[in-house]
Amino acid sequence: MRWKKTITMVEAHAEGEVGRIVTGGVLDVPGRTMLDKMNHINQVDDSLRRFLVNEPRGCAQMSTNLLLPKTHSDADAAYMIFQGDKAHAMSGSNSICLVTVLLETGMVEMVEPETIVTLETPAGLVRARAACKDGKCERVTLDMPPSYADQLDAVVEVEGLGKVTVDIAFGGIFYGLIDPAQFGLRITPENARKLVEIGCRVHRAINAQLEVRHPQLEGLEGISYTMFVSHDDDGTMKGATILPPGRIDRSPCGTGNSARLACMHARGLVAEGSTHTARSVIDSTFEVTVTGTTEVAGRPAILPRVSGRGWVHGIHQIGLDPSDPYPLGYMVADCWGDAFDLLS
């Protein structure tokens, strides 16, 4: 074996969504802040992300999280999220994976019954409270970035579908929120491919027809994902986030539900202090709460909290042989979906 690059990862999942954590092999990424570092990956040099995410070293149904030296004195650890399209500023499920890995591998000392971990992300500092017992990180509760409704009941013209109503909201990244009842669909595993196809079409239309830009965080513009939002028969929140180039998040989605709560709060549908259960397409759950209100550049915003569980399930080491013809990997539509035009 002759590798010119070696990277070690600990693998975990949060309520079904896999988030690998890079724990060795990458020293740093250029940039003064985590936002600078994310923008460097997205705008200057994307080779590391592609090496980690694409086949044959990665696969569609997972995220890879890059653990980096912190740039903020109040943080315990810093990271960004690599997915099929680009590096992202924040993720609830991946933060749960990261905290679980940090504590259960001893990278951050576990304190029972509760350990506080402050994560530095490109979207800002995220405070995590981990409930711990007998060496196990049993649950992670995240105080998410301030979230706000950007555009309610916006209408876009979607190819093959006509006019579609969406909400645009920020929950750490931007979402286009869609009621699947517009298409006569429910959020179920057997409808996954139909939801992905519609979600990608709506994604294209939103970024082409609506202006979406964070007023304070440079580089956060356009939606990252669409998310179908509905309720189960018992009234529980149900959601399905569509990730380019075409798959469904297996977790209930922390940033997506933060964005959803912001829209619900703007409509008077959830109260400050209220906690709700959010289900995923595979019926895994997060608990989501509106802990307070604030403002983002003068816009009304909420302070969301997301709580869920993570499990470590493997340790993985990958490398690159100098003769490998696929140093940056590849994607094939049978697994990844065919919305390659949505990739950055």
Instruction: Give the residue numbers annotated as catalytic, written as ranges.
Output: 91, 253
Q: Which of 315, 287, 323 is nearest to 101 (CA)?
A: 315
* CA 153 to chain CA mean position, Å: 23
- Per DSSP, helices labelled H in the chain are 34-43, 47-53, 92-104, 192-209, 254-266, 333-336
Q: Is 344:45 a contact under the CB 8 Å cutoff?
A: no
Cβ–Cβ < 8 Å for 343, 38: no
CB-based contact 93:285 (threshold 8 Å): no
**Residue that the structure tokens 């986030």 belong to:** 241
As a whole number of Å, the end-to-end CA separation of the chain is 34
Q: What tokens were used for 234? A: 């018992």
